[in-house]
Amino acid sequence: MAKKEKANAGIDPKLLELLVCPVTKTTLHYDAKAGELISDAAKLAYPIRDGIPIMLPEEARKLDG
C-alpha cells in the first residue's frame, strides 16, 4: 500500500511545466503538504485527486490574502 500512497503523493514535474491556471493563464506551483496546485495570481488552490489535477475554477479553494 505504501507504493500506491507514494505514487499519488506528488505530481509529475513535466506535467507541472505544462499546466497553467485556467483563470489567469499563469504558472502554478505545487504545494506537496496540501496536495494542491497553487495559482498566486488568482489566489486559488486546485486540488489533486488520485494523482489527477482538477483544473476547474469551481473546484478550486480560494486562498486568503
Taking only the tens place, the pLDDT of each residue in 39-54 is 999 999 999 999 899 9
d(CA 27, CA 16): 9
- Model confidence over 3-39: pLDDT tens digits? 433 444 578 889 899 999 999 999 999 999 999 999 9
Q: What is the grid cell recorded at 25?
A: 493563464
Name the β-bridge partners of 52.
49
Total count of domains within the chain: 1
Q: Are 44 and 56 within 8 A, CB to CB? A: no
Give the domain extent around 43. 2-62
**pLDDT value of position 10:** 73
- CATH code of the domain covering residue 56: 2.20.25.10
For residue 11, the model assigns a pLDDT of 84
